[in-house]
Amino acid sequence: MKKTFLLEELDCANCARKMEEGIKKIEGVDTCSVNFLSQKLTIEADDATFDEILNKAVKVCRRIEPDCKIIY
């Protein structure tokens, strides 16, 4: 399953890169991309565990950029 989410209050391109790298390390994630300019997060992962992976991705984003919100 591949889904795209809007990111709100992502202020730093370096933080976007760190988020992308952190999410790619989550078990079950096939691909991930964080686009700073369009403020979008795209995750491709297994359908059966997608919700669990998304919860872990939210935690990664909050740790790196506490004010950033994933809109889904």
Domain spans in the chain, listed from the N-terminal domain onward:
2-71
pLDDT score of 14: 97
pLDDT score of 72: 84
Please write down the HEC assignment for all residues of the chain. CEEEEEEECCCCHHHHHHHHHHHHCCCCEEEEEEECCCCEEEEEECCCCHHHHHHHHHHHHHHHCCCCEEEC
Question: pTM, whole model, 2 decimals?
Answer: 0.93
Which residues in the chain land under pLDDT 50?
A: none
Residue of 70, 72, 71 whose CA lies nearest to 19: 70
Asked if CATH classification 3.30.70.100 holds for the domain at 2-71, the reply, yes or no, is: yes
